[in-house]
A = this chain, B = another copy of it.
């Protein structure tokens, strides 16, 4: 591994991070398993220890690894974390952890706004709305049910998008600038269908995120995201 190759452009420490993430993604490194030590990676990748150190520290501060002086570096199989406020892309979030992502489209239809939806969107009842239900998987395990209504005015091509390639969120961000968002986080028991889709244990609660987003002062989408309580949590930090 060398930085001098004209191809590079990607910093060495990023290449080291990618190497470790690949090892995690390929299953070579399981949760809690030990990551090669800094010196081993130095020999393996032919970079300096400081470069490896930076790469591993980065991944640790991102929550991918945990490190203990005198012991070693390990894969941190934390339950997933996301910041509730940043409109996050679940696909990117999973891939950043070096895990495999795929989506399953359960429903994609043209729906009519009922009373409640009409109020959320500020449209008349019976107004057309796109409606999608997508099941997102991390390492072949379901992690999120995304039940989303979209305003056709904002995203007219929503129905022809392929959500196994591009998440609904990515599609919306691409076609319409996000201007404002409102969200509500709750804990709730899933109904039986949802529990089965998310492969949840009996009695396990869900973390529920409801989000409404605006584009150009009109409601663009209204989404309900369900996560298994035992496998997902929102995390965030802020500075005063």
Contacts and interface: CB of A to CB of B under 8 A. Distances in A.
Interface residues of A, number: 42
B81 A83 contact: no
Contact of A240 (B180, B206, B227): B180
A29 interface: no
B180 A238 contact: yes
Nearest to A212: B237
Query: How many copies altogether?
Result: 2
A135 interface: no
Contact of A187 (B83, B179, B229): B229
A65 to B, nearest CB: 10
Given A61-B61, A238-B181, A239-B179, A203 B206 contact: no
A185 interface: yes
A154 to B, nearest CB: 15
A207 B185 contact: yes
A233 interface: yes
A236 B62 CA distance: 10
| 5 pairs of A and B residues whose beta carbons are closest in the complex | A205-B205, A187-B229, A187-B187, A182-B237, A187-B207
Given A86-B238, A186-B233, A189-B203, 4 more contacts: A80-B238, A81-B239, A84-B85, A187-B188
